[in-house]
Amino acid sequence: MAINGKRMFPCLVCMGPREVRQTKKDKPYLVCDPCGVQVFIRGSAGIEEFNRLLESTNGESLLTRLKEMDSRYRPTCPECGYKFWVGPELVKTSIFDGSMKGFRCPQKDCSGIIAWEPKQ
């Protein structure tokens, strides 16, 4: 995908769009400064597959979908502001009827709950 003429790909940690750069030997890599992640694509098969992935995706639709996934599965705790990935171990259920109430914040000493809002 390309934004403003630059090839972009999401960071594997924060999902933010990052520019695909080229090494001196013309191999693609990504750098996400906020996360401290560097991803280098090595080997001709990996480079070929990565380029095919970049060419086959519609940049806008991929970024839109990733943003939706980020907001749905990586909420921010209303109590402490911590952003986390949801998982089954964080499910909060009602002690009365067992219905799902939301997700607990995984931070120690935080009692924040992200309310479950089923899709209608």
Dump pLDDT digits (tens) for 95-115.
Answer: 999 889 999 999 999 999 998
What the block records as the tokens of 57 is 């995706």
Is the same domain home to 47 and 11?
Answer: yes
Is the same domain home to 61 and 7?
Answer: yes
Is the same domain home to 119 and 62?
Answer: no
Is the same domain home to 16 and 6?
Answer: yes
pLDDT tens string 56-78: 665 556 667 777 777 778 889 99
- Check if the beta carbon of residue 80 is closer than 8 Å to that of residue 110: yes
Q: How far is the CA of 89 from the CAs of 62, 97, 106, 111, in angstroms?
A: 28, 19, 9, 15
Is the same domain home to 12 and 34?
Answer: yes
pTM beyond cutoff 0.85: no
Is the same domain home to 40 and 23?
Answer: yes
Q: How far is the CA of 17 from the CAs of 3, 20, 63, 76, in angstroms?
A: 9, 9, 7, 19
Residue with tokens 């191999």: 27
Give the range of the structural domain holding residue 62, as residue numbers without chain letter: 2-73
